[in-house]
């Protein structure tokens, strides 16, 4: 067959130009997107910030939305809470530096209590502080508040690894957070009987791990939208737990803790969950309740209180409230009563920060 070399050469040249053009398009920096006017915050229980729907994330394991850039508290937020807002860091076992923020109330009445607050995935410590408004509530009650911040080198979306077996056993990031607490205890007049830990989503999972591994340190814990403890041992199984719970393993995990050589002293807990949460579904709260009942050796029916937007289950030992579980109507994966200008916060109450402080005030570690 006779080949027209001139025609073939022209075709190759045209193909080369097309390929070069395609490569140029693929490698060129993307054009900046036009800025849109910010949507007005919705005063519903949806729990989504104007720019990001909270329900779109998977904070416990594999979040699907782009993480917001960490930012410091605005001057307006600092003005609301007039105390000191400090930042420092501690070394990790790998020689890195994990940062934390500390709020010290302006009304100094030492010794003060300390609340350790653990953010969720796609959050920074400062965003969590602003969203929960915990500093404002702590100022009124006289608490210092410690906000550890997960390293992106440990997890790209700043998730605490509640689904990691070593972390559940007290390793991973647990020793680093404990070292932060001890550093604060040596620097400031903290009442060691009044140390509490709280968090949302992955932060709630880590708060639970901290409390169960160090029950001699914490007087009570607050878990908001948290996964059931101890059943997930990988990212994939973590997603399954968030959606379906632990099933029959729920009880056996608690029994394993009770069978340890050192007697578990119990751990008072307040559990807050959105009824419409599709990220960490309400089955997790039901199973956390079951684990807490076993760990605190609680028996008997709860006292049930129905309120306009929530139902509350209280369990007592004598006259001492040991477990409070609140299921909030129409709340998605968001901090109840938080700042709706930030993702993972819902303006509509009840106010989770206030409820946690009221619960913590009932408990001292003796």
Give the pLDDT score at 23. 32
Beta bridge mates, 325: 271, 313
CA distance 354 to 117: 14
214, 196 Cβ separation under 8 angstroms: no
Per-residue model confidence as pLDDT tens digits over 111-165: 889 999 999 999 999 999 999 999 999 999 999 999 999 999 999 999 999 999 9
Is the peptide bond prior to 350 cis by the omega test (within 30 degrees of 0)? yes
pLDDT at 54 over 80: no
Per-residue model confidence as pLDDT tens digits over 76-90: 444 367 899 999 999
In the numeric block, the tokens 């076992």 are attached to: 93
327, 337 Cβ separation under 8 angstroms: no
CA distance 313 to 270: 10
- Which alpha helices (H) appear in 188-319, and where do they start and end? 202-213, 235-244, 249-258, 283-295
Give the pLDDT score at 139. 94
Binned at pLDDT 50, 70 and 90, residue 28 comes out as: very low
Phi, psi of 311 (to 5 degrees): -125, 135
What residue segments make up the domains of the chain, in order of their start? 53-360
pLDDT at 14 over 70: no
CA distance 349 to 111: 31
CA distance 344 to 277: 11
Is the peptide bond prior to 170 cis by the omega test (within 30 degrees of 0)? no
- Which alpha helices (H) appear in 98-226, and where do they start and end? 125-132, 134-141, 165-168, 174-187, 202-213
pLDDT at 256 over 60: yes
Report which of 331, 233, 199, 350 is spatially closest to residue 277, judged by C-alpha positions: 331
Per-residue model confidence as pLDDT tens digits over 199-221: 999 999 999 999 999 999 999 99
CA distance 337 to 133: 9
Give the pLDDT score at 108. 65
Give the pLDDT score at 357. 98
Q: Where does residue 345 rank: exposed (0-12), middle (13-18), buried (19+ CB within 10 A)?
A: buried
pLDDT at 37 over 70: no
Binned at pLDDT 50, 70 and 90, residue 73 comes out as: very low
Query: Cβ–Cβ contacts within 10 Å for residue 365, how many?
Result: 18
- Give Cα separations from 38 to 66, 205, 292, 341 (angstroms): 17, 32, 42, 10
Least confident range from 3-12, 93-102, 197-206: namely 3-12
Note the CATH number of domain 53-360: 3.40.50.1820
Per-residue model confidence as pLDDT tens digits over 278-319: 999 999 999 999 999 999 999 889 999 999 999 999 999 999
Residue 31 DSSP code: P
């Amino acid at each position: 067959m006779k080949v027209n070399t001139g025609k073939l050469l022209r075709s190759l040249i045209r193909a080369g130009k097309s390929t070069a053009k395609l490569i140029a398009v693929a490698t060129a920096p993307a054009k900046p997107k036009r800025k849109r006017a910010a949507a007005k915050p919705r005063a519903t229980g949806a729990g989504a910030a104007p720019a990001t729907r909270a329900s779109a994330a998977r904070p416990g394991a594999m979040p699907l939305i782009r993480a917001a850039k960490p930012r410091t508290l605005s001057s307006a937020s600092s003005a609301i809470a007039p105390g000191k807002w400090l930042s420092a860091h501690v070394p990790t076992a790998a020689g890195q530096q994990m940062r934390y923020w500390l709020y010290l109330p302006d009304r100094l009445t030492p010794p003060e209590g300390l609340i350790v607050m653990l953010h969720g995935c796609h959050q920074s410590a400062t965003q969590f502080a602003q969203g929960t408004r915990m500093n404002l509530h702590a100022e009124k009650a006289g608490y210092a508040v410690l906000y550890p911040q997960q390293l992106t080198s440990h997890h790209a979306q700043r998730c605490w690894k509640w689904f990691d077996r070593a972390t559940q056993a007290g390793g991973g990031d647990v020793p680093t957070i404990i070292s932060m607490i001890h550093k604060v205890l040596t620097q400031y007049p903290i009442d060691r009987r009044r140390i509490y830990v709280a968090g949302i989503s992955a932060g709630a999972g880590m708060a639970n791990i901290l409390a169960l591994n160090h029950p001699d340190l914490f007087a009570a814990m607050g878990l908001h939208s948290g996964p059931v403890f101890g059943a997930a041992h990988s990212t994939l199984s973590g997603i399954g737990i968030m959606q379906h719970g632990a099933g029959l393993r729920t009880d056996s995990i608690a029994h394993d803790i009770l069978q340890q050589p050192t007697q578990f002293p119990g751990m008072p807990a307040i559990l807050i969950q959105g009824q419409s949460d599709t990220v960490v579904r309400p089955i997790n709260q039901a199973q956390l309740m079951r684990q807490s009942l076993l760990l605190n050796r609680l028996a008997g029916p709860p006292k049930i209180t129905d309120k306009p937007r929530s139902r509350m289950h209280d369990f007592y030992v004598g006259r001492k409230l040991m477990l409070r579980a609140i299921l909030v109507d129409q709340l998605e994966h968001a901090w109840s009563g938080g700042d709706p200008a930030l993702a993972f916060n819902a303006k509509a109450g009840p106010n989770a920060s206030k409820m946690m402080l009221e619960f913590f005030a009932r408990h001292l570690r003796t």
